[in-house]
Amino acid sequence: MNISHLEYFIALVSNDFNITKTAQLNYISQPALSKIINSLEALYDVELFIRQNRRIVGLTALGYDVYSLSLQTLEAHHTLLNYLTSFSKKEELKIGVPPPLLPSYVSNIILELFNRHPQMQISIIEEGGVSLKQKLHSGEIDIAFIATTPNDTLNYIPIFDDEIVAYMEHTHILNHNQKNVVTLQEVNSQVLCTLGDTYLLSRIITKHFLSQKLTLNSKIKSSSLKFLIGYCLRFHAITLLPTSSFSNLPNKNQLAYKPLSPPLNLTIYMCYSKNNEVKIAPIKNSILQIKKEFAI
């Protein structure tokens, strides 16, 4: 048993023993949650839950005692982590962010982290999502904000939804047609500049085009947003970036963007190694609280 097991136990009780709802709210699969809950009883050969037709409907007398003690234990755990963090003057948190995502809501989250944890040294590592996932596995960074498909090797918490759109100069011909979207065929017919292959976003975009039996016809690739935007403005080109990046892009007053058809929707996840749970627990809780307060 570990602290996360107690958190799931408390969450299940708080959600009226609804496994599906508890799993969704805690970003865990329903089978995984059921396995954890069942293991709490099997580990000590006790009965914590009342079941009807194999469904959990309540707590036994022992279950109520364990629930009360779990609340006290969890509160003490959080108090201890916060106390230790307050004395840790040399603690460093390394956060990986792909450059295309840094101008988005991610920057607001990181700035608020600085505000709430002034004693902590926070380093921002700007690299492509492919490299950041490798650094998470090797322990070189603690957290990464990336658009990717969740798997079992890392923990993934959805932070916000985004969309890849076509950016262009205001005077671009595709910005003056009557349609509110641009097709992938139309994008491919124009001068196109895109992110480099070290970015997960680049792979997601390429896969999207392939799903429509199209090959992405990019004339030039770069990891610099400033270069991509500059290229678009100088050569009347198009680039494909997240819509959340718009507010902080250079020369945004000269830019317009349109959604793709078919659309390319993304979920941006906060990712961290399962072996790093204890270290980042206070920061994870802060980020989730910021997400809630800022309605991201």
Give the model confidence (pLDDT) of 10-48 as tens digits. 999 999 999 999 888 877 888 888 998 899 899 889 999
DSSP line for 112-143: HHHHH-TTSEEEEE---HHHHHHHHHHTS-SE
Number of domain units in the chain: 3
**Looking at residue 271, what is its pLDDT?**
94
Please report which residue ranges of 249-276 form alpha helices under DSSP H.
none
Residues 253 and 177 in one domain: yes
Same domain, 212 and 118: no
Three-state SS at 239: strand
CATH of the domain at 45: 1.10.10.10
Give me the CATH number covering residue 285: 3.40.190.10
The model carries a pTM of 0.67
Q: Looking at residue 103, what DSSP letter applies?
A: I
Structure confidence at residue 64 (pLDDT) = 92
**What rounded mean pLDDT belongs to the chain?**
88
Q: Judge if 272 and 155 occupy the same domain.
A: yes
Which of 275, 259, 83 minimizes the C-alpha distance to 186? 259
Asked whether residue 232 falls in the same domain as residue 274, the answer is no
Pairwise CA distance, residues 191 & 193, whole Å:
7
136 and 14, same domain (yes or no):
no
Looking at residue 256, what DSSP letter applies? Answer: E
Identify whether residues 156 and 277 lie together within a single domain: yes
For residue 242, the one-letter residue type is: P
Q: Please write the tens of the pLDDT for every residue from 62-79.
A: 999 999 999 999 888 877
Contact 276, 212 (CB under 8 A): no
- Predicted confidence (pLDDT) at residue 244 exceeds the cutoff of 90: no
Identify whether residues 68 and 96 lie together within a single domain.
no
Q: What are phi and psi of 257, to 5 degrees?
A: -145, 155
How far is Cα 102 from Cα 144, in angstroms, rounded to an integer? 11
- The answer to whether residues 182 and 257 belong to one domain is yes
Q: Are 119 and 86 in contact (CB under 8 A)?
A: yes
Mean per-residue pLDDT for 176-182? 89
Do 119 and 260 belong to one domain? no
Weakest-pLDDT range from 78-92, 136-150, 247-261: 78-92
Q: Which among 41, 72, 87 is the end of a domain?
A: 87
Claim to verify: residue 234 and residue 142 sit in the same structural domain:
no
Flag whether pLDDT at 82 surpasses 80.
no
Average pLDDT over residues 149-162: 85
CATH number at residue 257: 3.40.190.290
DSSP state of 236: T
Residues in the chain: 296
Pair 135, 70 in one domain:
no
Shared-domain flag, residues 179 and 249: yes
First to last CA, the chain: 33
Domain of 132 in residue numbering reads as 92-160+268-294
Nearest of 279, 273, 280 to residue 136 by alpha carbon? 273
Record the tokens describing residue 6, joined without a space: 């107690």
| Contact status, residue 236 vs residue 191, Cβ threshold 8 Å | yes
Please report how many Cα atoms fall inside a 13 Å half-sphere around the Cα of residue 128, on the Cβ side: 15
Q: Element (H or E) spanning 79, and its range? A: helix 61-87
Domain boundary among 70, 87, 104: 87
Domain termination residue (choose one: 87, 112, 145): 87
